[in-house]
Structure 1
Amino acid sequence: MRRILPLLSSNHAGGRSALTCRYRCGDACFHEVPNTSGNEYAGDVIAATLSRRSMMRTAAVVTVATAAGGAVMAQNAPSAQAAAVPAAGDARHGGPGGGADGARGLRFSPVEPNTADKVTVPAGYTQNVVIRWGEPILRGAPAFDADRQTAKAQAGQFGYNNDFLSLLPLREHGRQVLVANHEYTDEVLMFKGYDAANPTREQVEIAWAAHGLSVVVVQEERKSGRLTPVSRHWLNRRLTATSEFRLTGPAAGSALLRTSADPTGTKVLGTLNNCAGGTTPWGTTLHGEENFNQYFANGTSATDKRYGLTAGATERKWERFDKRFDAAQEPNESHRFGWVVELDPYDPDSTPRKRTALGRFKHEAAQPRLTRDGRPVVYMGDDERFDYFYKFVSSKRMKKGDSRAAREHNLTLLDEGTLYVAKLTGDSPQDVDGTGKLPNDGEFDGSGVWIPLATGDVSHVPGMTAEEVYVFTRLAGDKVGATKMDRPEDVEPSPRTGRVYVALTNNTDRGKAGKPGADEANPRNLNKHGQILELAEHWDDPSADGFAWRLFLVAGDPEDPATYFAGYPKETVSPISCPDNVAFDPHGNLWISTDGAQLGSHDGLFGVATTGERRGELKQFLTVPKGAETCGPIIQDRRVLVAVQHPGEVDGATVEKPASEWPDGPGRLVRPSVVAVYRKDGRDIGV
């Protein structure tokens, strides 16, 4: 029998602790919503920027949506036979660690909702901690010692609060390259006796070194899915808040990006608040700079430009130690963050690039796919209440192979192309009442257009130059009437079907006085649990100007009438709340990690079938420890990787009074870590 736990008591959005809101996003949900635009549908702007051909293609998409409703999308809707599916925990085949009935890749007995202070996995599965915060990865880096930590030591050790993960192949037997984002630091959980009003220079410099990216080679144990780090490998690397990055693309060198330290507007120190990301077909990784605004003090309306800069002092007080974090002294420094960063993990001497052609906003993710003629298309979410989701279509084709010439060419792919923002229209607006009740046609769906914002040095937005579009992309989205969404986070195209899945985490402000109410893509007011949108581009052409869309999942307790699981019988699915990161497994199933779930259970990782008669069947694979968030899922044939972020991040917790004992038990410091989960019998996941 499925057990639903009591609702969490929290005054913070999405069930997060106040500590999480304080350090991760600077209490973003307690500030006024940055998007105050009226933002009506700007038909005149669209008419001026979309060609007649694109409008025809959009119309064709509606036809495709109807046909594809019976073909592309609804072809896989559950049949009457699906209603007879046994309860989620009924293991039909009895095999160890699997054999439970389900779609291929999801044949495991689901984990029940729980509040255990550990990573809980299905029966027949086991796990290992791959790497913890502070473990040395560079030559000369010392072993982690929390009582003697230094900035120099941290710069050679695995960073804090791991988020996005990528695993890339390596021509060394049994080895792969692990790349990790380090989103933010929890100083109160890092330093004994931490005084938030008076941090020391050493503490601040340790935090600078704990941000950024880590590259570390990992070794696979041949008979299991266990992974262990290869310390001091020549590819291992740390990028921090003080490492050198290059601004590239059409806005590079702009007066809006120049500072006293960098009059060229092309050279940036550091990357901040890296959340989710992506892995490119040409072997690089992409990293989204998200809540960068919280690091900059003394913002004004002149320096903020709708990005939520702090008006006074910041939480971490970095501005006391480096003037670049003081907007009053360096008004353009914040413009140098909020980009997608591209890293070449195979070249430890390369300088990572911040790609201005992809726009500046609170990037949750950036996941590419290729058009039929080999041009990359990157999908991106802007993680803020009532903000937008975007795509970038490159004008260059990828070159195949790993020759030096091919790699150099491919490292220019994301500098030239067109940046778009999405506008969605529902086909049953009269049926949307804000409760989540399905329209009379049985689903939330409709059509949409991609509105071009800029191509190279050409702006498609009246009243804005191209440079302004790239640096103040949110303002461009406002001007062209983009659809205000419920916090677009990770966006992932299916490698099998080409459909694009957008995780919309929640928006408890929707429908409040003076705020936008429900629409068909965001159908619930005071939305605590979020939803996942499924998008089908015209004729599966990622460069198309139009698309069909529908809501794939409307999250929450399946017993709540305002939930929807692609039409699958709800009595057989796991409860899910606040979808965040998403990824695909080798079988085409979508895996969803959660952040701030509001159903009483700890956050977790879930798998859901996207095709076939079991489309919409959702099963929980794991839960994370107390106070933690599930991040960076990777699902391979033989293992699942997750980044366990901010364990023990509970109100009132400190180093001296920890709220969690994970991962190393009582008396040991709580440490964010990467975990690998695999079958005890060594077989593939979920088969």
Structure 2
Amino acid sequence: MTRVNVGVDPDDIASNPSANRHIQDVLSRRAIIKGGTVAAAAGFLTTGPAASAVAAEPRGRKPGRPDHGKGLLGFKAVPAGTADAVVVPEGYSAQVLIPWGTPLNSHGPRWKKDASNSAADQARQIGSNHDGMHLFPLTRDAGLLALNHEYVDTRGLYADGDEVLTKEKVDKALAAHGVSVVKIRRDRASGAWEQVDSPFNRRVTGSTPVRFSGPVSAAHPELRAAGDPKGTLNNCSSGHTPWGTYITCEENWNTYFGTEDASWTPSAEEKRYGVAAAGTPYRWHEADERFDLAKNRKEVNRFGWVVEIDPFAPRSAPVKRTALGRFKHEGATVTESKGRVVVYSGDDQDGEYVYKFVGQGRWRDWIRRGRSPLDHGTLYVAKFDDDGSGVWLPLVFGQGALTEANGWKDQADVLIRTRTAADAVGATKLDRPEWVAVDPKNKDVFLTLTNGSGNGGKAGPRKPNPYGHILRWAEKGGDNTALSFKWEVFVLSGDPAYDKTVKLGPEAVHGSPDGIGFDADGRLWIQTDISNSSQNLASKGYDNIGNNMLLACDPETREIRRFLVAPRGAEVTGLTFAPDGRSLFVNVQHPGESTPAWGEPTVDDPRAVSNWPDFDPAGRPRSATVVITRKDGGRIGT
């Protein structure tokens, strides 16, 4: 989630004017609190004594996992904390890898701790604010690490700050966005990982030439802007495909555009996506007409897509896959069922929706033909019903409300205006839908809802919902291509000291779940993104929770334990494992950003909140990848 400075997070401001029902409306009439979870009341609970502890498996399939015996969580939970450090369990160690500004190769420009690197330097260095990532193995001890760079801190990126904005500064910011692909290698003796020189090492930035593919072409009238299409921005979570490519997702792309032209007014569609004249904290339009809404209006429509990158083809252009729709993609979780590809994606803003793309035919057949499985299929949006059931509504031109008589032109129009199409078919509003994870054992789907304004009654999670929660659903027949499902609230996040409906113990208390993913053993890993405007504040109900964290969960028992605590002002995001499960990679994003609990960094003192990871008295905080290993070399989490 993007945060430039302390204040209101853009994701928290709803731009959905539809009368569609909110998830809180559903919860308020159909859920009850049981054993620390909100479990469906209508035909969803077990009927014996176990009903007081755990909700039943969603109907339509057998339980997906045998008894674990000792359980999946074999580590001692770390306490909540406020230290300016990465804290991991006893017996584990944390190694900092590829912080912002690391040169792509050994001959590249060195990091300058006073932030005086040029735009040209930054284009050959690791980008800023690491987010989603995936490790593509080459051998047991080497692989290509692809990772996103979501945004920039406008006060930390430049040696003299951003009060005076120039084209060079805009170019440097563009170069700090996007994606890095680097080869990393593990030393067999020490277990430590290092970046190594490789022809695969590359940067994709906000200025890299890109292609469009699928129902919306770059030549579409709504995408005709000055110059050829280039760049990817606000790359949040990610995904990876069975055919070995990386997926990066454009989230809060609207925040990069603005104008000083008082005659410019937003259209209904621009309003629906939060595009506004003064909506940008970056002010790039002051120095680069590409981002001026009055001078280059259609450029904004080139963003909001899922972007596919081939990490093994460093000269290939990133491709924006338009069949997956245009919105604020938090991530794109790819799974397959019956040979078909399925992609889940949340739209991270208060009151928005969760989507699913189902590929047409077997994905291997498309690959054999030299065509992309992501260009051929149907995009759906979810509707959650009162009785614990749900359906996927197709976003297809000519079906339902999406007809020419209702003002729709063709399928490209539906995909460019995905949010409005979802409004029209009656999708269910959610509290900031974020990452999606699919259980590899039984194909259950988990969705994090970070927080939101809320809209429910006493039995619903909250109104407002400052802590968020996690949904779980089982697609009919365990088939992820199915168009109906059974759902429940898997865990209600929060602090029982402030909300008695929360039944989490001290080792599990958390707020604002965001990143989520499974390891090969079936553990569900949960990362938090407590806003810096709330972090550690009693006035926000977050003083007992401490800094952001990574937790591990046994999906069967629902036991949750805190595994890692991040430095001050930081978010924990990104999640990938070495093939042997003995190294866990996570990202620490925006350490040291403004927070009322600790202070506000300035150009003269960028270390006011955090000095992680360098702790250089003349340096500044830097986002970085962190590698977690067990000191005895064992598998993570055991």
TM-score category, normalised to shorter length: 0.7 to 0.9
Partner of 1:662: 612
1:535 aligns with 2:495: no
Find the counterpart in structure 2 of residue 281 from structure 1. 242
Show the counterpart of 1:150.
118
Q: Deviations over 1:9-53 (max 9, x none)?
A: xxxxx9x9882557xx6x453x5x201111259xxxxxxxxxxxx
Q: Does 1:686 align with 2:637?
A: yes
Match of 1:11 in 2: none
In structure 2, the partner of 1:164 is 132
Give 1:605's aligned residue.
550
Contact 2:4 2:281 in 1 (8 A): no
CA distance 1:179–1:407, shift in 2 (3 Å): farther
- Is 1:494 the counterpart of 2:439? The answer is yes
Q: Distance in 2 between matches of 1:120 and 1:140?
A: 33
Q: 3-state DSSP class of the match of 1:135?
A: coil
**1:426 and 2:386 matched:** yes
Distance 1:236 1:77 in 2: 40
Give the CA deviation at 1:353.
Answer: 0.7
- Which runs of structure 2 are paired with 1:560-639 in the superposition (5 Å)? 562-563=500-501, 570-571=504-505, 573-596=507-530, 599-600=542-543, 601-611=546-556, 615-636=557-578, 637-639=581-583
Structure 1 residue 192: Cα displacement? 2.7
Q: Tell me the alpha carbon deviations over residues 546-568 of structure 1, each in whole angstroms, 9 at most, x when there is no partner.
A: 11000101101245665457xxx
Cα deviation, residue 204, structure 1 = 1.6
User: Structure 2 CA distance, aligned partners of 1:641 and 1:518?
Assistant: 40
2:367 corresponds to 1:417: no
Aligned to 1:10: none
Contact 1:498 1:536 (C-alpha < 8 Å) held by counterparts: yes
Quote the offset at 1:229 in angstroms.
Answer: 0.8
Residues 117 and 476 (structure 1 numbering): CA distance in 2 closer, same or farther, change over 3 Å?
same
2:345 matched to 1:380?
yes
**Residues of 1 paired with 2:231 and 2:165: CA distance?**
20
Do 1:584 and 1:635's aligned partners in 2 also have CA atoms closer than 8 Å? no
* 1:236 lines up with 2:201 in the alignment: yes
Deviation of the 1:641 alpha carbon: 1.2
* Paired AA for residue 563 in structure 2: F
State the Cα distance separating 1:103 from its structure 2 match: 2.2
For the pair 1:39 / 2:5, whether they are aligned, the reply is no
TM-score w.r.t. the length of structure 2 is 0.85
| Higher relative helix content | 1
Change (3 A) 1:317 1:164: same
Identify the residue that residue 624 of structure 2 maps to in structure 1: 673
CA RMSD of aligned residues (A): 3.0
Q: Is the 8 A contact 2:122 2:172 kept in 1?
A: yes
Instruction: Give the 3 Å change call, closer, same or farther, for CA 313–495 of structure 1 in structure 2.
Output: closer
CA distance in 2, matches of 1:350, 1:63: 51
Task: Give the Cα separation in 2 of the matches to 1:364 and 1:574.
Answer: 24
Residue of structure 2 equivalent to 1:8: none
Whether 2:316 is the aligned partner of 1:336: answer no
Pairing 1:22-33 to 2, within 5 Å after superposition: 27-29=10-12, 31=13, 33=14
Query: How far off its partner does 1:203 sit?
Result: 1.8
CA distance in 1, matches of 2:334, 2:95: 30
Q: Residues 71 and 672 (structure 1 numbering): CA distance in 2 closer, same or farther, change over 3 Å?
A: closer
> Offset at 1:300?
2.9
Q: Distance in 2 between matches of 1:391 and 1:78?
A: 25
Distance 1:524 1:102, change over 3 A: farther
Q: Which amino acid aligns with 2:527?
A: S
Show the counterpart of 1:271. 232
Report the Cα distance in structure 1 between the residues aligned to 2:343 and 2:89, rounded to whole angstroms: 34
CA contact 2:225–2:298 (8 Å) conserved in 1 = no
| Matches of 1:211 and 1:468, distance apart in 2 | 28
d(CA) in 1 for partners of 2:64, 2:71: 14
| Cα distance in 2 for residues equivalent to 1:558 and 1:408 | 55
Secondary structure (helix, strand or coil) at the match of 1:304 reads: helix
Contact 1:21 1:28 in 2 (8 A): no
Match for 2:613: what amino acid? P
- Cα distance, 1:675–1:602 mapped onto 2, change above 3 Å: same
1:647 is aligned, of 583, 591, 602, to: 591
Task: Return closer, same or farther for 1:408/1:660 CA change in 2, 3 Å cut-off.
Answer: farther
Instruction: Give distance in 2, aligned partners of 1:36 and 1:541.
Output: 33
Q: Distance in 2 between matches of 1:519 and 1:419?
A: 34
The change in CA–CA distance for 1:609 and 1:222 in structure 2 (over 3 A counts) is same
Which of these residues, 396, 402, 426, is aligned with residue 461 of structure 1?
402
Specify whether residues 558 and 65 from structure 1 end up closer, same or farther in structure 2 by C-alpha distance, changes over 3 A only.
closer
Q: Distance in 1 between matches of 2:4 and 2:152?
A: 15
**1:66–1:414 CA distance, 2 compared to 1 (3 A):** farther
Cα gap change, 1:71 to 1:112, in 2 (>3 Å): closer
Aligned length: 582
- Matched position secondary structure for 2:210: strand
When residues 618 and 102 of structure 1 are mapped into structure 2, their CA distance, relative to the original with a 3 A threshold, is farther
Q: Are the aligned partners of 1:557 and 1:563 in contact in 2 as well (CA < 8 Å)? A: no
> CA 1:379 to 1:65, structure 2 compared with 1: closer, same or farther past 3 Å?
farther
What SS class does the counterpart of residue 477 from structure 2 fall into? helix
What whole-Å deviation, never above 9, does each CA across 1:208-253 have from its counterpart, x for those lacking one? Answer: 10000000000112245422111x3110010001001111100114
Distance 2:353 2:310 in 1: 28
Deviations 1:298-325 (A, max 9, x none): 3633261401112237322211332221
Is this contact kept in 2: 1:183–1:273, CA < 8 A?
yes
Does 2:85 align with 1:118?
yes
Name which of 421, 429, 434 aligns with 1:484: 429
Instruction: Tell me which moved more, 536-545 or 186-195.
Output: 186-195
Gaps of 5+ in 1: 1-13, 42-61, 83-100, 428-445, 512-516
Residue 204 of structure 1: aligned partner:
170
- For the 8 Å contact 2:4–2:152, the answer to whether it is kept is no
Matched, 1:398 2:363: yes
TM-score under structure 1 normalisation?
0.79
Deviation at 1:177, TM superposition (A): 0.7
Amino acid in the other structure paired with 1:419: L
Structure 2 residue runs of 5 or longer lacking an equivalent are 23-41, 48-53, 536-540
- C-alpha distance in 1 between matches for 2:616 and 2:138: 37
Q: Structure 1's 593 and 505: CA in aligned 2 closer, same or farther, altered over 3 A?
A: same
Report the AA paired with residue 391 of structure 1: K
Aligned equivalents of 1:193 and 1:35: distance in 2?
A: 38
Aligned match of 2:418: 473
* Per-residue Cα deviation, 1:25-82 (whole angstroms, up to 9, x for no partner): 6x453x5x201111259xxxxxxxxxxxxxxxxxxxx989999975557987999x99
The DSSP-based 3-state class of the residue aligned with 2:109 is coil
Distance 1:202 1:324, change over 3 A: closer
1:512-535 Cα offsets, whole Å, 9 max, x none, are: xxxxx4598x63111010000001
Decide whether aligned partners of structure 1 residues 76 and 530 sit closer, same or farther in structure 2, where only a CA change above 3 A counts.
farther
Q: Deviations over 1:477-536 (max 9, x none)?
A: 1111110100000011111110000000001x224xxxxx4598x631110100000010
- Whether the 8 Å CA contact 1:533–1:550 is kept in 2: the answer is yes
Aligned-residue sequence identity (percent) comes to: 39
Query: Would the aligned equivalents of 1:639 and 1:684 in 2 still touch at CA under 8 Å?
Result: yes
* Aligned-residue offset at 1:254: 5.5
Q: CA deviation at 1:415?
A: 0.5
